[in-house]
Amino acid sequence: MRKVNNSQSVCFVIFYRIYDKHGEEIYAIALLTSEQESQYRDHFYYSFYSTKLHYAYNTYKFRDHSIEELEQSTNPLAAAVIAVKYANEHKNDPNEKFNFKQELMTQIINQFSNEQEKPRLYLYALFYFIDYLLKIPKDLQQKLEHNITDFVEKEEIENMQAGNMEASPTLAAIFKEYERLGLEKGMEKGMEEGVKKERKDIAKKLIHDGFSDEKIMELTELSLEEIESLKKSLD
């Protein structure tokens, strides 16, 4: 046995560990940012006596395309490349990273939230990638989660929650906030229905005691139509 140690072999090791653990389809890409990227190979080849291995993967050179070009791409990995480019250009400006992270995540939700299973996998993977690449201060992160929750439609959130995939920190916070808002709305609706029922019960007693419609409206804040409906239900 001999030791092999280079960046290409590391790519293979990461691929194999993920594949061995999850048994899922994997799309591998190496994002090349160094000055020596032209010398980087897009494969790993190993041969020792009769044992041979050839692992090939995708590569992307950052100089090949601008952010403007990548924004027009339908390839989900274009968003990951944009995130890396932007992180490099604005690594010392948290407000700039916040604005960009919010815009990029919103675009990704619009593009993938209502699609089928594989695009949803892209969404989860991209959110993980962007979350850990574009880290921002806690106050800005909370603002980001709040803004995205307000922006995303109910159906989009429900589509994103489908399945048992583990959500990134931002997605998990969005789901939690959505559930909290749903509970609050449910409680408010329940309280409103309870008050409405109580007013109708009072109105029924007033009708039975012979109060005028105007007086019942004044005491219960029910409409004339609601009072008329109650009278018919008592007949």
* pLDDT tens-place string over residues 38-50: 567 788 898 988 9
Task: Work out the average pLDDT over 183-212.
Answer: 73
How many angstroms separate the CA atoms of 145 and 49, rounded? 55
Whether this model's pTM surpasses 0.75: no
* 47's tokens: 């041969």
Beta strands in the chain (DSSP E): 29-32, 43-48, 51-56, 58-61
CA of 20: how far to CAs of 15, 23, 122, 125, in Å?
A: 8, 6, 20, 18
- Give the per-residue pLDDT at 41: 78
* pLDDT tens-place string over residues 210-226: 888 888 888 788 888 88
- pLDDT tops 70 at residue 75: no
* 155's tokens: 């159906």
